[in-house]
Amino acid sequence: MSSPSKTSGAFHSTKAFSKKVLLSMLQEKPRKSTARAQGYGEGAGDRVTGKKEQVVGAVTGDRSQEASGNLRQEKGNAKQDVNRKMF
């Protein structure tokens, strides 16, 4: 009977470790994608709400509400930019 060599043992150990790392990376990606999609959706909601506030403020002459709407739109744009797919 031949005993396994140190090289063979190291190879199999490295192979097992690589499998664990790869599986871990594959499981992590969906979570990041889900979080990114949620952030992008929140940004879209902020943009729409901000536009509504801006228009209502402009129609009623309420400059404070109009400015608040503009800020909320910018916040939504920023959220969407951050969560836009980078690849």
What is the structure's pLDDT at 87? 37
Question: What is the pLDDT tens value at each position of the chain, 87 positions in all?
Answer: 456 676 777 777 777 777 777 777 666 666 777 888 888 899 999 999 999 999 999 999 999 999 999 999 999 999 999 988 753
What is the structure's pLDDT at 19? 76
How much is the pTM? 0.61
Total domain count, the chain: 1
Residue 12 lies in a domain: no
Residue 49 lies in a domain: yes
Give how far the C-alpha of residue 22 lies from the chain's centroid of Cα atoms, to the nearest Å. 21
Q: By residue range, what is the domain housing residue 63?
A: 34-87
Residue 18 lies in a domain: no
Cα within 13 Å of Cα(17), Cβ side: 6
Residue 56 lies in a domain: yes
Residue 19 lies in a domain: no
Place of tokens 């949620």: 38
